[in-house]
Structure 1
Amino acid sequence: MTIFRGLKVLDVGTWIAAPVAATMLADYGADVIKVERPGRGDDYRRFASFAISPNAEANYTWLLDAHNKRSLSLNLKSEEGRRILLELAAQADVYITNQPPALRRELNLTYDDLKALNPRLIYASLTGYGESGPERDREAFDLVAYWARSGLMDLVRAPGADPAQCLPGMGDHPTAMALYAGIVTALLDRERTGEGRMVHTSLMANGVWAASCIAQARFCGAATAGYQDVHRHFWNRPLYRAADGRWLQFTMVRTDAEFKRVLRGLEVGDWSDDARFATSESRITHGEALIERLRARIEAEPSDHWMARFAETGAPVALVGQIDGLADDPQVAASGLLSPPSDAAEGAQFIRPPINVEGLDPAPIEKAPELGEHSAEVLAELGYGEADIARFAAQGVI
């Protein structure tokens, strides 16, 4: 089913977080027009070909995040380009943007500007650091605002280790989900009130939210400096490397009974007779000694040996997954997080957003648009004739 059929959405954004919110609406039937600058388009079109990206024949990131949309190339620095965008906004249900706030003010494309044209419009704004405050006009990627600025980069590391960069898009995709949630909430409100709304979120806000189980402590007066050092004494916090280089995770081992199953799996059941390791409390007190012994034992055998042993004893130990293994992972295949293969998806399966509504299946993935592929079509729907469209092309408006 296509729950958003008939919903008109303008995607006036670039890269990932804001445009992906539009893609999720398209997945459930919305008519999404992606507005891009003529000649170059969204720079994210080329991300899969960057030196830092794995090589593949398919433009996989663009297809992943920009499918099921139409593309209108439009020069918003031209008077006629802005006029065309305003015509579209006057008819739209949702307007999504992550343009820098200063640029929106310069182009008269703020919520207040568009609300005057269309009071029922849902205006969805994505910024790096929020709609107000001294950094409201500062531009950012998720690696900066979500990961570094929020404190996540500093927190997510082993004691003594340097901070590490996050994966590309690691903050953008959950931020897109937050923006989508705001849009859907505002659409429900519009059904009840008839009024549009501005909804907004930021990369920094989503990063702080992701860190909130620790960050909230600081707002309640707790000291959070040295958070990683506390975990030096918790034996089930570190990861342990097996002989084949794979890592084992013991986070779900929480009770004395589960710890004994781990020891039986490691064939060192006599360790439970050691008073230092007999209780949860003593294992914390003597955590560093226990960690040292576990590391030496686990390094003696490959991961498949240990995982088989832990399966036998019922110890809740996890093998740290690898991206290379996802395509062959039976749980990934069975859990519905992949799209069916299709010609439009160049024969590949693609990762779906983690939204599942029983009885509302997302639309099949259709190819991501070429730059300006639908410009003439969209302009014709606005009432422009072939001569106008040719003139716009000649003047660089489209």
Structure 2
Amino acid sequence: MANPGGPLAGVRVLDAAGMIAAPSACAIMADLGADVIKLEPPHGDLLRGLVTVPDGPDPWWELDNRGKRGIVVDLTTEEGIQVAHKIAASCDVFVTNLTTERQSKFKLRASDLREDHPQLIHLTLTGYGNSGPDRDRLAFDHTAFFSRGGVIDMMGEPGQTPPAGRPGQGDHTTSLAILSSILLALRERDLTGEGQDISVALVHTAIWTMSSDLSVGLATGEVPGPIMRIETPSPLVGRFRCSDDRWIMLTMPADRYWNAFCGAMGRLDWLEDPRFVDPEKRAQHGPELMIMCDDIFGSADSGVWAERLDAAGMVWGLIQNLEEVIDDPQSEALRAFEQVPDAKFPFRTVSPPFALDGSEMSVKGPAPEHGEHTAEILSEAGFTPDEVAQLYEQGVVL
């Protein structure tokens, strides 16, 4: 039987982070039933309004802050710091991407918050980690994940302009590392009764995503590098343009697919061709074979190739644009997009990339307006009505 409210019902999270990666992890925790409090400064999170839709929702803000309650606190004041501490004292998890310097200034370091609340799990997201020469360097996912982590260099072809990473792609990958580490820390706390400090870095997540290539470099001393498409050692792992200008990606690293591939290409003669008799020979003649395949794929449209490749049992995929991803019936089957309940404007957003069939998991509601729940959160933290009124009057909260 599913736990009422979700697997994280009863867990309280203070999200004192900005932009995408850490707030995204907290949004998934809200989907899983956690009570997530979004703490913002008076000027608001930088993500607010970064992408706007006329007469519609704020899609980026909604994606990474759905289901949370919002409070505005001025941490530049001593009273604001005390408010943050009092709220954190009632929480299980504290999440931030404030620099070490600002955490120290606002007394939000793990040592500050866990001194009287050792059960608290304190997570810091950084660009480059909490130690080393670049521990204090500011970062976004484009700089730390895509660039410093080597991702962009391996995605392009040699000598070409490096491709641009897509907004939030590194952040949302990192959010899964944040979520995983918090869940593990909660489990550890179940066993020991103690919270702990967690550090997650954008560049470290990038290194993990590149670990297949990096493991070769670590084992051999020779790091793989980007190659031209035409230099692909086997068409079984190639990408090809069809006559309708659509691209198809093949991924069949096992040699057992070769015979069926030759049949699908209408070139059974390749099976007896001494240039292509085994994987080593095909790699030696890779560019030549790729050019031959280019010509064949260019002779028919992607629909024809879809039928041929499926009939031959090939592993392939059509390279889709995002409009096609939204309309893909498989996206619908996965429930990849979910209607946001109780939203001012009816819209869908992206659901977490996993399904828990035995648990309650859903988008609980829209993202909070700026300071929407300040008064009720303060009341829950133990502030009297007079104290709340005074904090508003002093501009400590909004």
Superposition TM-score, scaled by structure 1 size:
0.92
> C-alpha distance in 2, partners of 1:343/1:373?
14
Q: 1:221 to 1:92 in 2, by over 3 A?
A: same
Rounded Cα–Cα distance in structure 2 between residues aligned with 1:56 and 1:219: 52
Q: Can you list the C-alpha shifts for 1:126-148, whole angstroms capped at 9, x where unaligned?
A: 11100111111111111111111
Provide the rounded CA distance (Å) in 2 between the counterparts of 1:252 and 1:159.
24
**Aligned mate of 1:43, from 43, 46, 50:** 46
Q: 1:371-390 residue pairs with structure 2 within 5 A?
A: 371-390=370-389
Instruction: State the Cα distance separating 1:94 from its structure 2 match.
Output: 0.6
1:135 aligns with 2:138: no
> What's 1:274 paired with?
273
Alpha-carbon separation, structure 2, partners of 1:213 and 1:77: 45
Instruction: Determine if contact 1:63/1:345 at 8 Å carries over to the other structure.
Output: no
8 Å contact 1:341–1:349 — kept in the other structure? yes
Corresponding residue for 1:242?
242
User: Aligned to 1:43, what secondary structure does the other structure show?
Assistant: coil
Q: 1:25 Cα shift? A: 1.6
* TM-fit CA distance, 1:226: 4.0
Paired position in structure 2 for 1:254: 254
Say if 1:178 and 1:296 are closer, same or farther in 2 by CA, change over 3 A. Answer: same
Equivalent residue pairs, number: 392
Q: Does the C-alpha gap of structure 1 residues 226 and 326 become closer, same or farther in structure 2, counting only changes over 3 Å?
A: closer
In 2, Cα distance between the equivalents of 1:345 and 1:297? Answer: 52
Match of 1:339 in 2: 338
C-alpha deviation, 1:346, in angstroms: 4.0
SS of equivalent to 2:47: helix
The residue type equivalent to 2:246 in the other structure is R
Deviation of 1:196 after TM superposition, in Å, equals 1.2
Q: Percent identity?
A: 33
Q: Runs (4+) of structure 1 moved beyond 6 Å? A: none
Whether the 8 Å CA contact 1:342–1:349 is kept in 2: the answer is no
Instruction: Give the CA deviation at 1:360.
Output: 0.6
Counterpart of 1:242, as a letter, is C
State the partner residue of 1:195. Answer: 194
Q: Is 1:253–1:315's contact at 8 Å kept on the other side of the alignment? A: no
Q: Which moved more, 1:60-69 or 1:386-395?
A: 386-395
Bigger CA drift: 194-203 or 214-223? Answer: 214-223
User: In the aligned structure 2, how far is the partner of 1:18 from the partner of 1:120?
Assistant: 20
Distance 1:146 1:267 in 2: 43
Q: Which residue of 2 aligns with 1:289?
A: 288
Unaligned ranges ≥5, structure 1? none
Q: What one-letter code is carried by the residue in structure 2 that aligns with 1:303?
A: S
Q: Distance in 2 between matches of 1:93 and 1:150?
A: 32
Cα separation, partners in 2 of 1:241 and 1:56, compared to 1, 3 Å: farther
Measure how far apart 1:385 and its partner are.
3.8
Contact 2:339-2:346 at 8 Å conserved across structures: no
Q: Judge conservation of contact 1:11–1:97 (CA < 8 Å) in 2.
A: yes
Separation (CA, whole Å) in 2 of partners of 1:217 and 1:316: 25
Give a deviation string over 1:161-186, Cα, whole Å, max 9, x none: 33212111111112111111111111
Distance 1:162 1:238, change over 3 A: farther
1:118 aligns with: 117
Cα 1:232/1:356, change in 2 over 3 Å: same
Letter in 2 for 1:251: T
Distance (Å, rounded) in 1 between the aligned partners of 2:125 and 2:193: 24
Q: Partners of 2:309 and 2:345 in 1: how far apart?
A: 40
C-alpha separation in 1, matches of 2:225 and 2:166:
25
- CA change 1:235–1:218 in 2 (3 A) is closer
1:101 Cα offset (Å): 1.5
RMSD: 2.2
Q: Which runs of 5+ in 2 are unaligned?
A: none
Q: Distance in 2 between matches of 1:181 and 1:314?
A: 36
Higher mean C-alpha deviation, range 15-24 or range 306-315: 306-315
The correspondence of residues 291-310 of structure 1 with structure 2, limited to 5 A, is 291-310=290-309
Q: Compute the TM-score of the two structures, normalised by the length of structure 2.
A: 0.92
Amino acid in the other structure paired with 1:317: W
Provide the rounded CA distance (Å) in 1 between the counterparts of 2:99 and 2:338. 33
Aligned to 1:147: 146
Q: CA deviation at 1:271?
A: 3.5
In 1, the alpha carbon distance for the partners of 2:396 and 2:229 equals 59
- Residue aligning to 1:369: 368
Equivalent positions of 1:10-159 (< 5 A) are 10-38=14-42, 40-49=43-52, 57-159=56-158
Q: Distance in 2 between matches of 1:297 and 1:126?
A: 49
Q: Which whole-Å deviations, capped at 9, do the CAs of 1:209-264 have from their partners, x for residues lacking one?
A: 111111123333421164536981513344211122211112226325x2333333
- 1:317-376 CA-to-partner distances (Å, cap 9, x unmatched) read 321222111122121111233335645384333221123323112134301110100011
2:14 counterpart letter in structure 1: L
Contact 1:259 1:315 in 2 (8 A): no
Structure 1 residue 316: Cα displacement: 2.5
Does the 8 Å contact 2:145/2:205 carry over to 1? yes
Compared with structure 1, are the counterparts of its residues 160 and 268 closer, same or farther at alpha carbon in structure 2 (3 Å cutoff)? farther
The match for 2:324 is 325
